[in-house]
């Protein structure tokens, strides 16, 4: 059974490559990690009232509200 799965995945990847795609591996934080929420909380606290962060947030909010002409 495992050989069939391996062959199926290999065929699928071959079709993707033949269509001009290539595999890409992306590493992201493990949100299941017990320490994850604490680290995010600490990062948020560190950015609170940070001038550069407030500027970026203001820019993002303005960009999000600038939808004129999108119809």
Tell me the pLDDT tens digit for each residue of 20-47: 999 999 999 999 998 999 999 999 999 9
More confident residue, 71 or 41: 41
Coil, strand or helix: which one is 27?
coil
The number of distinct structural domains making up the chain is 1
| 12 domain-assigned | yes
Give the Cα separation of 51 and 59 in Å (integer).
12
Q: Is residue 71 domain-resident?
A: no
Q: What does the pLDDT look like over 50-66, one tens digit per residue? A: 999 999 999 999 999 98
Residue 68, token pair as written in the block: 């004129």
Asked whether residue 30 is domain-assigned, the answer is yes
- Asked if residue 56 is part of any domain, the answer here is yes
7 lies in a domain? yes
Q: Structural domain of residue 41, as residue ranges?
A: 2-65
Distance CA 18, CA 68 (A): 41
Grouping H, G, I as helix, E, B as strand and the rest as coil, residue 49 is coil
pTM above 0.85, yes or no: no
């Amino acid at each position: 059974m495992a050989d069939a799965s391996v062959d199926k995945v290999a065929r699928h990847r071959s079709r993707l490559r033949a269509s001009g795609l290539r595999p890409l591996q992306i590493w992201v934080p493990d949100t299941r990690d017990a320490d994850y929420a604490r680290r995010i909380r600490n990062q948020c606290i560190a950015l609170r009232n940070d001038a550069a962060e407030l500027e970026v947030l203001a820019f993002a909010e303005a960009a999000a509200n600038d939808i004129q002409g999108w119809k």
